[in-house]
């Protein structure tokens, strides 16, 4: 067994687990780890300007590649800064590993005021991680890293956090370095598969509800095969966009907050197959579900079965294995459902007409973006009006191409998350839509983008307001506006100051040519900010 320091064991263990990129911000308790990176050129170390961005970049990298995204921070303020990003990764079922330093192991639990001390820091992360742990022995580091990666990817992907004290990183020990293992995925109960297949084979109007679990299980092909076998339309959640290409004849699009094609199709379904979704239909509406409908739910997380809707058949299984077993059980025994192509075309037409009536300007912007972007372009939808309507109006054609902050609805996440997505997908276009309030959370990461050559296009919608909160004041508080106005810089000039390209549009009709030019500049090696009025 080789003798090495804890820091060397940490970095070599990450290498053995297949980690190629680490997003971090140095500080005293993790400098030994940074020193160990010096001898590991195989890992790309990207230094960010805020620990929250390290977490978001790791998340964007993870969700668009399916690989573990790693963030490295100091304890206390560094870890707490990263917590919002880890919460987002938890909400979005993203495989992120947060490596946090710690104070000296002899000072743990003493509350003596050690630098960056947070008593019981592990407890801070328990509600927003799948698993977390700390070691105080250098020889335990390889197993700690190995277990962390396994927990991140096994079953339902979710973030994990590990902590290594200041004095443990430079300490030497004989190390047993571990090899990477395959992930463990839950196989479905054959009896449940048979029961579900019988219900689907008899269904007159089956409908598939695809959530974010379909993304993480990479079931684009299998989902399309199942939909075709059943002649069942597919509705996705925003997290599930890309689970089936939205130009597929059986794709009806996305359900979001009471809008979309579900309004017309869900009440007609007699059997609903929900895959990888918690089925939170908020707000609840009379047309969402009714007592005469049969629900089949497949989820890798047993805690999600029946959380929001009680299924007649609840199947704990990896989505890919569950769908493949269903296909095998169904064989050729399905009958043609009562859905017909003309009916589904009409549902899509009516839903699109509704969107254009409700949000004509936003839909025009979204359609312009879709026209300019490649089929496999990655869209990171921020917490802004255009992005909200984009959940419904932006057709996603390839898997792992659309990111939201899920139910965490994290203001400011989109720009750094897009940077992480681009690091993981250097040959794909990456575009973020973000409001002026959200962009200012991480605008300093323009320096990271320029320094590291991370070339994304970011559309910043500048209306000088925290738009959602201002709308709340106008609608629910009789126009009593306070605390929602913003003083902003010229975002195009700000981009230029950092060394990026900044474009400022006077009219939304300029967006198409500007986006075309931005993507061309992007491919030539430049990050671009496009500033537009509105929200």
Set out the domains of the chain in order of their start, with CATH numbers: 3-174 (3.40.50.970), 190-344 (3.40.50.1220), 359-533 (3.40.50.970)
Nearest to 54 by CA among 94, 99, 6, 16: 99
**What pLDDT score was predicted for residue 334?**
67
Supply the pLDDT for residue 25: 98
- Residue 392 φ then ψ, to 5°: -95, -35
Per cent of the chain over pLDDT 70 is 97
Give dist(CA 466, CA 487) in Å, integer: 11
pLDDT of residue 56: 98
- E strand spans, 25-68: 44-47
Angular region, 257: left φ>0, alpha ψ -120 to 50, beta rest: left
* Residue 54, pLDDT score: 98
Whether residue 529 contacts residue 495, with contact meaning beta carbons closer than 8 Å, is answered with yes
Q: What angle separates helix 445-452 from helix 414-424, to the nearest 10 degrees?
A: 20
Q: What is the pTM of this model?
A: 0.96
Helix H or strand E segment including 432: strand 430-435
Would you state the torsion angle of the CA atoms of residues 373, 374, 377, 380, taken in this order, to the nearest 10 degrees? 20
Between CA 308 and CA 95, with CA 184 as vertex, the angle to 5 degrees is 65
Q: Under a CB-based contact definition with an 8 Å cutoff, are residues 254 and 389 in contact?
A: no
DSSP string, 380-423: EE-SSHHHHHHHHHS---STT-EE--GGG--TT-HHHHHHHHHH
| 243 neighbors 298 (Cβ within 8 angstroms) | no
- Confidence at residue 332, expressed as pLDDT on a 0 to 100 scale: 67
pLDDT reported for residue 262? 86
Give 373's DSSP letter: S
Tell me the C-alpha distance between 434 and 445, whole Å.
14
Q: pLDDT by residue (tens digit) across 66-97?
A: 999 999 999 999 999 999 999 999 999 999 99
Q: What pLDDT is recorded for position 381?
A: 97
DSSP letter (8 states) at residue 477: S
* Separation CA 156–CA 90 (nearest Å): 10
- DSSP structure string for 245-308: -TTSTTEEEE-BTTBSTHHHHGGG-SEEEEES-----SS--TTS--TT-EEEEEES-GGGTTSS
Give me the phi and psi of 431, to 5 degrees please: -130, 135
Residue 177: CB atoms within 10 Å? 18
Q: How far apart are CA 234 and CA 31, in angstroms?
A: 50
Residues 128-184 have pLDDT tens digits of 999 999 999 999 999 999 999 999 999 999 999 999 999 999 999 999 999 998 888
3-state DSSP percent of the chain in helix, strand and coil, to 5: 45, 20, 40
pLDDT of residue 290: 77
Give pLDDT, residue 156: 95
Q: What is the pLDDT at residue 489? A: 96
Residues in the chain: 535
CB atoms within 10 A of CB 179: 7
Chain mean pLDDT for the chain: 94
User: For the chain, which residues score pLDDT lower than 70?
Assistant: 282-288, 332-335, 534-535
Q: Tokens for 465, please give them.
A: 């307001």
Task: Yes or no: say if 68 and 147 are a contact pair by the CB < 8 Å rule.
Answer: no
Taking each helix axis as running N to C, give the angle between helix 341-358 and helix 385-393, from 0 to 180 degrees, rounded to the nearest 10.
170
Query: What pLDDT does 525 receive?
Result: 76
């Amino acid at each position: 067994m080789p003798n090495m320091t804890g820091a060397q064991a940490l970095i070599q263990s990450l290498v053995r687990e297949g980690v190629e990129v680490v997003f971090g911000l140095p500080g005293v308790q993790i400098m030994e780890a940074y020193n160990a990176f010096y001898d590991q050129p195989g890992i790309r170390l990207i230094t960010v300007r805020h620990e929250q961005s390290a977490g978001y970049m790791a998340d964007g990298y993870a969700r668009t590649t399916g690989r573990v995204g790693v963030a490295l921070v100091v304890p206390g303020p560094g870890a707490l800064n990263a917590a919002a990003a880890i919460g987002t990764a938890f909400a979005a079922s993203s495989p992120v590993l947060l490596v946090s330093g710690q104070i000296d192991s002899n000072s743990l639990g003493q509350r003596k005021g050690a630098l960056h001390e947070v008593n019981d820091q592990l407890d801070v992360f328990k509600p927003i991680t799948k698993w977390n742990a700390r070691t105080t022995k250098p020889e335990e580091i390889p197993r700690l890293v190995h277990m962390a990666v396994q927990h991140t990817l096994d079953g339902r992907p979710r973030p994990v956090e590990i902590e290594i004290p200041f004095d443990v990183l430079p300490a030497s020990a004989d190390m047993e370095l571990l090899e990477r293992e395959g992930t463990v995925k839950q196989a479905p109960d054959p009896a449940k598969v048979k029961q579900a297949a019988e219900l689907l084979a008899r269904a007159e109007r089956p409908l598939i509800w695809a959530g974010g679990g379909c993304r993480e299980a990479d079931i684009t092909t299998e989902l399309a095969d199942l939909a075709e076998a059943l002649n069942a339309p597919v509705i996705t959640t925003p997290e599930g966009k890309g689970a089936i290409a939205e130009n597929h004849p059986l794709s009806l699009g996305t359900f979001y907050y009471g809008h979309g094609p579900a309004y017309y199709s869900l009440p007609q379904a007699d059997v609903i197959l929900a895959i990888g979704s918690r089925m939170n239909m908020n707000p609840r509406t009379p047309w969402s579900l009714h007592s005469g409908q049969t629900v089949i739910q497949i989820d890798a997380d047993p805690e999600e079965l029946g959380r929001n809707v009680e299924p007649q058949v609840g199947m704990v299984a990896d989505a890919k294995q569950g769908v493949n077993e269903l296909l095998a059980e169904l064989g050729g025994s399905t009958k043609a459902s009562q859905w017909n192509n003309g009916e589904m075309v009409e549902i899509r037409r009516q839903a699109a007409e509704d969107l254009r009536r409700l949000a004509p300007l936003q839909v025009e912007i979204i359609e312009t973006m879709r026209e300019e972007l490649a089929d496999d372009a990655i869209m990171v939808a921020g917490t802004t009006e255009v992005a909200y309507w984009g959940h419904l109006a932006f057709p996603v054609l390839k898997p792992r191409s659309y990111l939201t902050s899920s139910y965490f609805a994290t203001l400011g996440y989109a720009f750094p998350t897009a940077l992480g997505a681009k690091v993981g997908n250097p040959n794909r276009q990456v575009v973020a839509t973000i409001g002026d309030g959200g962009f200012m959370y991480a605008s300093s990461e323009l320096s990271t983008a320029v320094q590291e050559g991370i070339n994304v296009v970011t559309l910043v919608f500048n209306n000088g307001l925290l738009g959602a909160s201002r709308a709340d004041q106008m609608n629910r508080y009789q126009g009593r506006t306070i605390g929602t106005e913003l003083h902003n810089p010229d975002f195009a000039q700000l981009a230029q100051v950092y060394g990026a390209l900044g474009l400022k549009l006077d009219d939304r009709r300029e967006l198409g040519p500007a986006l075309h030019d931005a993507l061309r500049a992007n491919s030539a090696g430049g990050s671009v900010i496009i500033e537009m009025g509105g929200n």
